[in-house]
Amino acid sequence: MSAPSVLIVGCGDVGSRLAKQMLACNWHVSGLRRSVDQLPAGVTGVAADLFDAQCPDTWPAVSPDYLVYCAAASQHDEAGYRAAYVDGLKHVLSWLAERGQAPKRLLFVSSSGVYAQQDGEWIDEASVTAPKNYSGTVMLEAEQLALASGIPCTVVRLTGIYGPGREWLLSQVRQGYRVTEEPPLYANRIHAEDAAGLLAFLVKADDQGQALDDCYIGVDDAPAPLAEVVAWLRQYMGVTQWSEQERVRRTGSKRCSNARARALGWAPQYPSYQEGYAAILEGRT
C-alpha cells in the first residue's frame, strides 16, 4: 500500500514545518513555491507562481490525497491579499479540475482577522465574522471559495503566528515597548511549530477516518493581555528601559478559543507565550 500524499501550496515557514512533520510520519510530501531549492530535504518540489493562471509543468501527475493551501501575501494591501488568497486559490482549483484530480480534503489556512470583535470577547468557530478591513474581508471571501469548491474542506483560522524569524514583539520589547494596560488588550498567538502541528493533526485525523468540522481556530491555550506578555518578556530578557515615545495602544482585543481542536485530540506543544518565547530565546525552536 502506497504512502498517503499531501501537496502543500505555499510551502514557506509554516508549510515547511508541516512538510517536515508529515515526512516524519512517512507521508509523500510535495511543496509548491516559486523557489523549490528552499524546500526541506525530502519534499518533492512543484515550482509555480500562484499568480500565473497557467498550470505548472511540475504539477503532480497523480492527485494528492490532501491539499493544504497556506499561501502568504507578498504585498500587504488589498490587491496583494486578493492575489494570494482568492486568485491563487482559484488557479489551484482550476489546475485540479484541468487534471481531473480530487483530493480527499482541502485545508485552507485562514486567519482570525475575519473576526472584528474588539472588546475582549471570547471567540470560537461559531462567532460572527464581520471583518472591517480589507485583509479580513478578502480572507473571508477566500474561505467561502474553498468551502464551495466541491472538495471536502476545512478552514483553519490561525492567530498571531510567532517563532524564529517572527520576532517583532521581542524586538519591540528590547526597545522599551509600552502598551496600554487598561482596559486589557487581549492578544492571541500560536507558535509556528504548533500551527504546523495542528494542520498535520487534522490531515492525519481525516486520513484515519475521524470526522472533521469545516472550521478550526488555531491558537494556544492562553490568550493574554498584551501588557502581561510585555511585562513577562521584559523580566525574562532583563530589559529595564522604557521607550520615551507615547504608550502604544493596538486596535482590537479578543480571546480566541481552541476548544474545538482540543476536543478532537490536538494539544499545542507550546500552551502559552511563556513556553513559546522561552524556547525562542533559549534557541530551542
User: If 0-12 CB within 10 Å is exposed, 13-18 middle and 19+ buried, where does residue 265 land?
Assistant: exposed
Q: Name the DSSP class of 84.
A: I
Fold of 5-162+189-219+256-269: Rossmann fold (3.40.50)
Q: 3-state class of 33 per DSSP?
A: strand
pLDDT given at position 118? 87
Q: Flag residues of the chain having pLDDT under 50.
A: none
Name residue 6's beta-bridge partners: 29, 66
Q: 3-state class of 260 per DSSP?
A: helix
Contact 15, 68 (CB under 8 A): yes
pLDDT given at position 285? 66
pLDDT given at position 244? 76
pLDDT given at position 232? 96
Q: 3-state class of 76 per DSSP?
A: coil
Residue 269, C-beta contacts closer than 8 angstroms, at least 6 positions apart:
191, 193, 194, 197, 275
pLDDT given at position 2? 82
Residue 267, C-beta contacts closer than 8 angstroms, at least 6 positions apart:
none
User: Could you give the angle at the alpha carbon of 226 between the alpha carbons of 262 and 120, nearest 5°?
Assistant: 65
Cell of residue 269, nine digits:
506543544
The values of phi and psi at residue 103, to 5°, are: -60, 155
Q: 3-state class of 55 per DSSP?
A: coil
pLDDT given at position 246? 56
The pTM score is: 0.95
Place of cell 503566528: 161
